[in-house]
Amino acid sequence: MKTPQVATEYLILVPVLLMQIFIFPYAASMLMNTWTESRRTLAIQEAANHLSSSMQQLYSSVNHDAITAGTVTNKLDLPLSIENYLYTGNATLRTASSDPNGSRILEITLKYVGLDISTSVLAIYGGNMEWKNSTFQSNFRSASIIAEKQSNGTIQMYFG
């Protein structure tokens, strides 16, 4: 009489054991991948926020009435890589309203090289701000932001 009971137990427990062998490592791997991607996203978001803040501070400094014209360079203290991945950045400027002299919105996008992870931040500037098309490279040791104030009050900014 014990034989049918043992066979029934094997019929139930062997598939459960096999599922545990394959499903638990797969589930753990998926959770780790999600956690790693979230951690990397947060790290590049922090770098983008720092970059945006540095740019706004530079703009505010150069936009002061005491500075009539000139060029100011702000060397960035961002890491050369995040978790051994380089990253690049670019920015696009658009006018916030229909008024051509209205506020400007600069969208800064950072992206890992070799990964499909990127982030964007927005920064608001005055109507006298212009953006010169340029690219930020994290592995460039002297990565900087350059602001050139012209005598008419226009401030052109770009990555150096």
pLDDT of residue 132: 94
Query: What is residue 1's predicted lDDT score, i.e. its pLDDT?
Result: 47
With the CA atoms of 81, 82, 84 and 86 taken in that order, what torsion angle do they form, in degrees rounded to the nearest 10? -50
pLDDT digits (tens, 9 = 90+) for 60-113: 999 988 888 999 999 998 999 998 999 999 999 998 777 667 889 999 999 999
Q: What is the pLDDT of residues 128-145, one digit of tens each?
A: 999 999 999 998 888 899
pLDDT digits (tens, 9 = 90+) for 23-56: 888 988 999 989 999 999 999 999 999 999 999 9
Contacts of 88 (CB under 8 A, 6+ apart): 110, 111, 113, 135, 136, 137, 138
Enumerate the β-bridge partners of residue 82: 85
pLDDT at 24: 86
C-alpha 95, offset from chain centre: 22
Q: What pLDDT, on a 0 to 100 scale, did the predictor assign at position 4?
A: 60
Which amino acid type is present at position 141? R
Separation between Cα atoms, residue 15 and residue 38, nearest integer Å = 34
User: For the chain, what are the domain ranges?
Assistant: 31-159
What is the spatial distance between Cα 57 and Cα 46, in angstroms, rounded to a whole number? Answer: 17
| Centroid of chain to Cα 27 | 28
Q: What is the pLDDT of residues 1-26, one digit of tens each?
A: 455 666 777 778 888 888 888 888 89
